[in-house]
Amino acid sequence: MKILVTGFEPFGDISSNCTQMIIDKFKSESLVDTLILPVVTTKCFTVLETFLAGKEYDFIILLGQASKRDRISIERVALNVLDFPIADNDGNLIAHKKIIENASDGIFTGLPLEELQRTCKEKSIQVEVSNCAGTYICNEIFFRTLFKFRNSRTKVGFIHLPLVLEQNISSNRVNITINDLYQNLKIVLGSLVK
């Protein structure tokens, strides 16, 4: 089994990104390749596609930071819409636009959501299945990647992560360390490769 795990550079008004911190930890895993993506609508998927050239993966797990969530959120569906709440890192601010013209309005993940939830519950990991990956770059990369692999054996999933204590953000939602989040994600990924 071969897995690609991606994260993002910092964006918005938060100077760090917990997904980038997680990617640094996954670099030592032998079955996992890692990639940091730019938070730029015109570059993000191009960087991913270039990296994927000539490679095959069983799973592509895209990670995103969600500052308003307090637990791991496994996304069920990507929507075919761009409607940015803030500008991306190149200043693009897009509203009410389709990601891919003539594509469906949404594409569901290929991950076994019920099984992942059950495994997490057994291990006392706080996790939820989310029905909305937002309408920003996270949703865009999720939709484009699902679309690219729609007729492939490669399973694509998106997981939003909460902020971690090491980011020094004052919020009552921040309640986990980067090491604990990393260990929890290893369990999630481990359940995929059983």
Average the pLDDT over 15-25 and give the result: 95
User: Under DSSP, is residue 51 helix (H, G, I), strand (E, B) or coil?
Assistant: helix
User: Under DSSP, is residue 19 helix (H, G, I), strand (E, B) or coil?
Assistant: helix
pLDDT tens readout for residues 115-137: 999 999 999 999 999 999 999 99
Domain span including residue 39: 3-192
* Structure confidence at residue 172 (pLDDT): 64
pLDDT tens readout for residues 149-178: 999 999 999 999 999 988 877 766 677 899
* Structure confidence at residue 62 (pLDDT): 98
Active site residues: 75, 138, 160
pLDDT tens readout for residues 56-100: 999 999 999 998 898 999 999 999 999 999 999 999 999 999 999
Structure tokens at 181: 């989040």
The count of domains in the chain is 1
- Radius of gyration for the chain, computed over Cα atoms and rounded to the nearest angstrom: 16
Average the pLDDT over 36-45 and give the result: 97
Q: What is the CATH number of the domain that holds 184?
A: 3.40.630.20
Of 89, 75, 4, give the one whose Cα is nearest residue 41: 89
